[in-house]
Structure 1
């Protein structure tokens, strides 16, 4: 886990509460804006989609690419962030 960003570390260490979608690792203002436009305004809403997709890495990454145009690194960062958060809290 040494290659994770500080943003990732901060996110996975505490409850999600009402964090904005841009708190997710890999999701900056541009992708965050696209997610918000598609109804995914809070991190827990993206988490809901992650869970609906049964935490499947390929399906989640494909969904993220479709909904907001995330590149491979952004997809990986966001997937890993949500997976690690689930491992800690679910």
Structure 2
């Protein structure tokens, strides 16, 4: 099983609220700017896309790679983060 980052644990451990997109695991400043330019400025907007893709982590990871040029490990980290957040709060 893969280990998670402190950023991941912090995100999954509390309600999302109005956090910026860069609060998501795997999303740094560069990917965050790319997502913001497409209207994905908040973590909950990215969560909306994840939910539209029926919480399918593989489909979401592919979408994220296409949307902002995320590398596989970044996209997978973000997908796992959202999946675990959903399991905890939905």
CA displacement at 1:59 relative to structure 2:
1.2
In structure 2, what is the Cα distance between the partners aligned to 1:58 and 1:6?
A: 23
> C-alpha displacement at 1:2, in angstroms?
6.6
CA shift for structure 1 position 64: 0.1
Range that drifts further, 56-65 or 43-52:
56-65
Q: Distance in 2 between matches of 1:2 and 1:77?
A: 10
Residue 58 (structure 1) shift: 1.9
1:8-30 Cα deviation digits (max 9, x unpaired): 00000100000000000000000
CA distance in 2, matches of 1:53, 1:21: 18
Matched with 1:75 is 75
How many residue pairs match? The answer is: 90
CA RMSD of aligned residues (A): 1.1
Normalised TM-score (structure 1)? 0.97
1:1-90 correspondence to structure 2 within 5 Å: 3-90=3-90
Show structure 1 runs of 5+ residues with no match: none
